[in-house]
């Protein structure tokens, strides 16, 4: 097995998160980024691709969102001109549906492999894997789909971020159906945290195989250019089970 400590890191473009990850995502890893609606999953995913573009590491965004212009417009609001990077061959934003995407991923010379080879892609964002749940009602089938997806992305040598929707906004967080988190190499959570009558946002790295990482929950805000990670929530318990107690006002 490769020595993870020696494996280069793919920075996320969010300095605070890279610090939590002790340098960034391990290259070639498949990472699940899970969060409630509007917590910034797409933003952080694009931030990761933009970071790659700036370093000359091309990336692909696969999105199952149905309104392409809205996707570009939202990115523009964050200060990212996706079309300009596409024109430079550093980015490809592909609007797809889950079935077409999976079929394109299966063949070694399928259209995803062709796209990866053609542009020399190093990074990929899948927005979001929750859409695969529409393809089947069978838990075993879904697990196979997700396993095939992770294996195919690794086969292509990509560092991947798979977005995963968590329907819970506040309160207890039921994560019982989260199979893909077991298959993936790393798991990062974004969620809303109610503290002293304010809604804040918190990020935590729950796992990264073979590597140490920070275990604390940190606050973050969303600004132009993406997520900015700040302080650890001090002296509070129960943040991720929705019953924060004893919080200091930060
Ligand atoms: N330019 C900006 N400045 C500050 N905050 C912004 C900006 N753009 C977006 N946001 C914040 O980011 C949030 C949405 O982020 P994003 O779309 O990445 O979330 P998401 O987790 O992907 O949501 P969904 O679950 O709907 O896909 C908005 O609700 C808004 O609060
Ligand atoms: Mg989104």
Q: Domain of 75: which CATH number?
A: 3.40.50.300
Q: Is 136 in the pocket of ligand 1 (CB under 6 A)?
A: no
* Minimum-distance ligand 1 atom for the alpha carbon of 46: 18
Is the C-beta atom of 224 inside 6 A of ligand 1? Answer: yes
pLDDT at 241: 65
What ligand has the least distance to the C-alpha of 41?
1
pTM of the prediction? Answer: 0.94
Instruction: State if residue 78 touches ligand 1 by the CB under 6 angstroms criterion.
Output: yes
> Which pLDDT does position 177 carry in this prediction?
64
Residue 115 lies in a domain: yes
> What is the reported pLDDT for 145?
93
State whether the beta carbon of 167 lies less than 6 angstroms from ligand 1: no
> Whose alpha carbon is nearest atom 16 of ligand 1?
40
pLDDT for 10 = 97
Å from CA of 100 to ligand 1 middle: 27
pLDDT of residue 179: 79
Per-residue pLDDT of the chain (250 residues; tens, 9 = 90+): 467 778 899 999 999 999 999 999 999 999 999 999 999 999 999 999 999 999 999 999 999 988 999 999 999 999 999 999 999 999 999 999 999 999 888 777 788 899 999 999 999 999 999 999 999 999 999 999 999 999 999 999 999 999 999 988 877 666 656 778 889 999 999 999 988 889 999 999 999 999 999 999 999 999 999 999 999 987 777 777 666 666 544 4
In a domain, 250, yes or no: no
Q: Is 248 among the domain residues?
A: no
In a domain, 63, yes or no: yes
Confirm whether 214 is domain-assigned. yes
**249 falls within a domain:** no
Structural domain contains residue 53: yes
pLDDT of residue 249: 44
Q: Is 223 in the pocket of ligand 1 (CB under 6 A)?
A: yes
pLDDT value of position 84: 98
Total structural domains in the chain? 1
Of the listed ligands, the closest to the CA of 165 is: 1
For residue 247, tell me if it sits in a domain: no
Please tell me the predicted confidence (pLDDT) of residue 169: 80
Range of the domain at 182: 4-241
Q: Which of 13, 32, 36, 42 to mutate to test the pocket of ligand 1 (most atoms within 8 A of CB)?
A: 42
For residue 46, what are its two tokens? 């694009």
């Amino acid at each position: 097995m490769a020595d993870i400590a020696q494996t280069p890191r793919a920075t996320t473009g969010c300095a605070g998160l890279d610090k939590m990850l002790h340098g960034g995502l391990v290259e070639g890893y498949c990472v699940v980024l899970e969060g409630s609606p509007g917590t910034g999953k797409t933003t952080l995913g694009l931030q990761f691709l933009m970071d790659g573009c700036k370093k000359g590491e091309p990336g692909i965004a696969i999105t199952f969102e149905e309104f392409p212009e809205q996707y570009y417009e939202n990115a523009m609001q964050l200060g990212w001109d996706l079309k300009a990077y596409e024109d430079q061959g550093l980015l490809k934003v592909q609007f797809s549906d889950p079935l077409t995407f999976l079929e394109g991923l299966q063949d070694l010379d399928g259209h995803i492999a062709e796209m990866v080879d053609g542009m020399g892609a190093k990074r990929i964002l899948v927005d979001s894997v929750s859409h695969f749940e529409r393809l089947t009602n069978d838990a075993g089938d879904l697990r196979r789909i997700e396993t095939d997806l992770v294996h195919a992305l690794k086969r292509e040598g990509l560092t991947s971020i798979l977005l995963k929707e968590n329907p819970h906004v506040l309160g207890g967080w039921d994560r019982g159906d989260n199979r893909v988190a077991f298959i993936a190499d790393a798991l990062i959570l974004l969620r809303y945290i109610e503290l002293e009558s304010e809604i804040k946002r918190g990020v935590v790295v729950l796992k990264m195989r073979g590597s140490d990482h920070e275990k604390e929950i940190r606050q973050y805000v969303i600004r132009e250019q993406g997520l900015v990670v700040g302080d650890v929530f001090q002296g509070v318990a129960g943040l991720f089970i929705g019953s924060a107690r004893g919080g200091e006002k930060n």
